[in-house]
Amino acid sequence: MKVDEFGQIGAYVTAMNEPVLQAGERVIGFRQLEYRVFRVGLLRSPLTDERGGWVWQTTMRVIHLDDRWQKLPTGARGKRVHEYALEEVLEIAERGRQVLVTVGGPKGKVVFAYSPLGAASRLFDWLIRERGERRRLTGS
């Protein structure tokens, strides 16, 4: 899981605003969404403010690329990225107009809160079906 890290051009993101994919990885869909990241606990403490950007769903992970290009003091250019593997997804819930995806990883549990409207909400239908299929096959 990556939260609010820098993805450099050529290493993580291409100059055409697409993520660099791993071998055997295939894109399921991508949409422009608004999202926030919270730490799970008694009080939901925000790890990021509300951001907009492209969310890419692949066969292995969900990748977020923020809208703005940034330049590091070293001269490298890239974007802020957030990412989680499909195996790290613990729960997917729809609450009102938001889709909440709870993710567990080495940094603890975090919640990605999305505000999908219209066609963007279909991006999470596949993730919900995939999670159900994985539970059925593994029995957990």
* pLDDT tens digits, one per residue of 53-93: 888 888 889 999 998 888 887 888 889 899 999 888 888 88
Distance CA 8, CA 26 (A): 21
User: What pLDDT does residue 42 have?
Assistant: 67
Enumerate residue ranges in the chain where pLDDT < 70: 42, 117-121, 131-140
3-state secondary structure (DSSP) of residue 129 = helix
Domain 2-134 has CATH 2.30.29.30: yes
